[in-house]
Amino acid sequence: MRGTRNGVATESRHLETTDRELVERARAGDPSAFHELLDRHAGFLYSMAVPLVGNAADAEDVVQETLLGAYRGLRAFEGRASVRTWLAAILIRQAALRRRHERKRMAASAQAATAVEGSRQFPSAATAADARIDVTAAIQGLSPDHREVIVLRELHGMSYDEMAQALGVPRGTVESRLWRARRQLQERLKEYLA
Amino acid sequence: MDECREAERLGAYGDGELSDAARAGMEEHLARCPACRAELNRLRALSHMLAAADEPAMPPAAMKRFHKAVDAMPMIELAHIAEVFGAAAASILVACCLWLLHARSSGVTSGQIPIWETVAIARHETTVTAPEEQLTQWIVQDLSEKTRHDQN
């Protein structure tokens, strides 16, 4: 299991106070505080953005937009969720905006749309040399709602409550989305799970 | 697939997200339902597989770019605020222009000063200077009559 997953609860509890202190300092106009928040959470945000938007270049843009959104929203941060969950929520919204923008752009260009359809042909289990490639492709093939819950839970080990806060949906919705998303992944990856 | 009704809660059970009572109930169910036990194993295998997927590593250049972006944020924010105020000022200007146009078209023009405005700005010199004017008129009248009388 990856580092972000093990000991998430204890680590976040340990860092929570200092994260909030950094937010307070950044609110008070201390530029170094926001840089420190960036150092602390950029890796997490980036690794979440890549599977959500599907490529590294867009993921960088989404992280940058998330940082700007967080900077603008510093005063609105109420501290109900952890700073990490708050940033994840902003990133999810930014990724959704990016996907919407991308869809519009693709719809405006028939040629581009054809090219994208081509790029969405994920390798099947029978032809893929590496199961990891198929895992990435299978996650990419999920609907945005299902992809989000898989990324937050399976790749970042968030609790259902944290996911509900980040996604702005009830906990029951998180559970049912996760159930359906896992079902689809089981189907797509059945050759490896048999 | 013929599925057990409890299967939908297996994910939450495997994630440790059920309440104590629900977890105990699920454990009792698992003891007597081989289909759910098999499904729980598949879910665990899936989780292991997903956890083993490569975590995207952030390029060092991206981190530099983010720090630069953070440095530029106060200016971006100022520009954003200026944009908002500019848009508000432009809206007010447009509203004023529209109001003036409307006022003109409804007949209130600079050539037709409303009565209340005329009264408000009128100078009340008559009452102040009346006795002096009257006195002057009397003198002029008197002198005129005297001149006429002398000529006769």
Tokens of A114: 């054809």
Nearest to B71 by CA among A20, A73, A32: A32
pLDDT band at B107 (very low <50, low <70, confident <90, very high): low
Q: Are B11 and A182 inside 8 Å of each other by CB?
A: yes
Does one domain contain both A86 and A37?
A: yes
CA-to-CA distance for A98 and A95, rounded, in angstroms? 5
Rg (C-alpha) for chain A, rounded Å, is 18
Q: Are A182 and B76 inside 8 Å of each other by CB?
A: no
pLDDT of residue A131: 66
Domain boundary among A69, A102, A121: A121
Domain boundary among A65, A91, A121: A121
Enter the pTM of the model.
0.67
CA-to-CA distance for A91 and A147, rounded, in angstroms? 14
Q: What mean pLDDT is predicted for residues B72-77?
A: 79
Residue B10 structural domain: 5-51
Give the CATH number, domain containing residue A150: 1.10.10.10
pLDDT band at B14 (very low <50, low <70, confident <90, very high): very high
Q: B70 contacts in A (CB within 8 Å)? A: 31, 34-35, 38, 67, 71
Residues belonging to chain A: 194
CA-to-CA distance for A21 and A81, rounded, in angstroms? 14
Does one domain contain both A10 and A33?
A: yes
Q: What mean pLDDT is predicted for residues B71-86?
A: 80
The predicted-structure confidence for B40-65, as pLDDT tens digits, reads as follows 999 999 999 888 877 888 999 999 99
Q: Are B73 and A35 inside 8 Å of each other by CB?
A: no
* Cβ contacts of A193 within 8 Å, gap of 6 or more: A186, B42, B45, B46, B49
Does one domain contain both A33 and A73?
A: yes
Chain A residue with the nearest C-alpha to that of B80 = A72
Percent of chain B exceeding pLDDT 90 equals: 33
pLDDT band at B99 (very low <50, low <70, confident <90, very high): confident
pLDDT of residue A2: 45
The predicted-structure confidence for A116-175, as pLDDT tens digits, reads as follows 444 444 444 444 445 667 888 899 999 999 999 999 999 999 999 999 999 999 999 999
Chain B residue with the nearest C-alpha to that of A159 = B17
H, E, C per residue of A149-191: HHHHHHHCCCCHHHHHHHHCCCHHHHHHHHHHHHHHHHHHCHH
Q: Are A150 and B17 inside 8 Å of each other by CB?
A: no
Indicate whether B87 belongs to any domain. Answer: no
Give the CATH number, domain containing residue A27: 1.10.1740.10
| Domain count across chain B | 2
Q: Check: CB of residue A128 under 8 Å from CB of residue A72.
A: no
Q: What mean pLDDT is predicted for residues A35-59?
A: 93
Does one domain contain both A38 and A112?
A: yes
Q: Check: CB of residue A40 under 8 Å from CB of residue A19.
A: yes
pLDDT of residue B126: 52
Does one domain contain both A102 and A130?
A: no
Tokens of B68: 């630069």
Q: Are A68 and B76 inside 8 Å of each other by CB?
A: yes
Cβ neighbours, 10 Å, residue B46: 24
Question: Looking at the complex, does the CB of residue B22 fall below 8 Å from at least one CB of chain A?
Answer: no
CA-to-CA distance for B46 and A134, rounded, in angstroms? 13
Indicate whether B23 belongs to any domain. Answer: yes
To 5 degrees, how large is the angle CA B89–CA B94–CA B100? Answer: 125
Residue A34 structural domain: 1-121
Question: Looking at the complex, does the CB of residue A142 fall below 8 Å from at least one CB of chain B?
Answer: no
Average pLDDT along chain B: 82
pLDDT of residue B30: 95
Lowest mean pLDDT among A31-40, A63-72, A128-137, B84-93: A128-137
Q: Check: CB of residue B54 under 8 Å from CB of residue A8.
A: no
pLDDT band at B114 (very low <50, low <70, confident <90, very high): low
The predicted-structure confidence for A74-129, as pLDDT tens digits, reads as follows 988 988 889 999 999 999 999 999 988 887 877 776 554 444 444 444 444 444 44
Q: Are A38 and B59 inside 8 Å of each other by CB?
A: no
pLDDT of residue A65: 95
Domain boundary among A121, A145, A179: A121
Distances (CA, A) of A36 to A40, A170, B29: 6, 32, 48
Q: How many contacts does A have with B, using Cβ atoms within 8 A?
A: 100
Q: What mean pLDDT is predicted for residues B62-91?
A: 85
Percent of chain B exceeding pLDDT 70 equals: 82
Q: A1 contacts in B (CB within 8 Å)? A: 51
The predicted-structure confidence for B118-148, as pLDDT tens digits, reads as follows 666 666 555 555 677 788 888 888 888 888 8
Does one domain contain both A192 and A112?
A: no
Cα of A107 to nearest chain B Cα, Å: 29
Cα of A82 to nearest chain B Cα, Å: 19
Does one domain contain both A27 and A117?
A: yes
Distances (CA, A) of B69 to A52, A63, A177, B123: 22, 11, 35, 66
Does one domain contain both A114 and A126?
A: no
CA-to-CA distance for A50 and A156, rounded, in angstroms? 13
Does one domain contain both A97 and A143?
A: no
CA-to-CA distance for A77 and A27, rounded, in angstroms? 10
To 5 degrees, how large is the angle CA B135–CA B138–CA B144? Answer: 145
Does one domain contain both A102 and A86?
A: yes
Chain A residue with the nearest C-alpha to that of B55 = A47
CA-to-CA distance for A56 and B2, rounded, in angstroms? 41
CA-to-CA distance for B85 and B91, rounded, in angstroms? 10
pLDDT of residue A10: 46
Tokens of A125: 């289990």
Does one domain contain both A99 and A154?
A: no
Does one domain contain both A56 and A96?
A: yes
- Please say if the pLDDT value at position A38 is more than 70: yes
Question: Looking at the complex, does the CB of residue B38 fall below 8 Å from at least one CB of chain A?
Answer: no
Select the more confidently predicted residue: B19 or B97.
B19
> Which residues, numbered 1 to 40 in chain A, qualify as contacts with chain B under a Cβ-Cβ cut-off of 8 Å?
1-2, 4-5, 31, 34-35, 38
Indicate whether B69 belongs to any domain. Answer: no
| Domain count across chain A | 2
Distances (CA, A) of B100 to B3, B93, B114: 73, 11, 16
